[in-house]
Amino acid sequence: MSSGMREALVHAKLAVNDMRAALTATEQRLRSEQSELETVRRRQGLAADIGDHETVAIAERFAAQHAERVAVLESKRMVQQQELALAEREYESMSADLRRVMSGLAPEASSAEASSVDAAAAREVDALLGDEPLLSDDPLAAPSPSRRTRSEREADAEARLADLKRKLGR
């Protein structure tokens, strides 16, 4: 179960990174269009000052096009920001579920039940995903998953599950 959850979490993280990159690209395009709009409006004003009606008409047409692009890109940016926020919340939820599973709790366990082991599980998951190294000054902290054998990790998970079941009265 946890290996499938890890894989889904990795895919979710990649999707979040892709969304961030797309949002950055949209913001760059928006800045460019805003700059073009300012330039066209400045040129329109200069043409109006010298009485060049033909250039003013052309500038008005280009200003309308750039203004429309700016409006579309602003809407697109807003939607991408909302989509990114949603994806980040889903990623955090998935990450919390995986931490609970790896600590021996059910994914839907309440935060009160999971609080005692959640921090250690979070460090373990982060280390497995490569988010950040598993560093701890606590001499009682669990050893790195890479230094423990599979049977040790499974035995630890079974012990934690049995302890949790005992606490919950099952």
Does residue 102 lie in a domain region?
Answer: no
Q: What is the pLDDT of residue 145?
A: 47
Task: Give ∠ CA 125-138-162 in degrees, rounded to 5.
Answer: 55
Q: What is the pLDDT of residue 40?
A: 96
Confidence at 84, pLDDT banded by 50, 70, 90: very high
Lowest mean pLDDT among 34-43, 78-87, 95-104: 95-104
Alpha-carbon span 15 to 84, nearest angstrom = 9
Does residue 62 lie in a domain region?
Answer: yes
6 and 53 part of one domain: yes
59 and 116 part of one domain: no
Q: How many domains does the chain have?
A: 2
Does residue 93 lie in a domain region?
Answer: yes
Does residue 105 lie in a domain region?
Answer: no
What are 168's two structure tokens?
A: 């919950």
92 and 114 part of one domain: no
Contact by Cβ (8 Å): 80, 23: yes
77 and 123 part of one domain: no
* Residue range(s) defining the domain that contains residue 149: 110-168
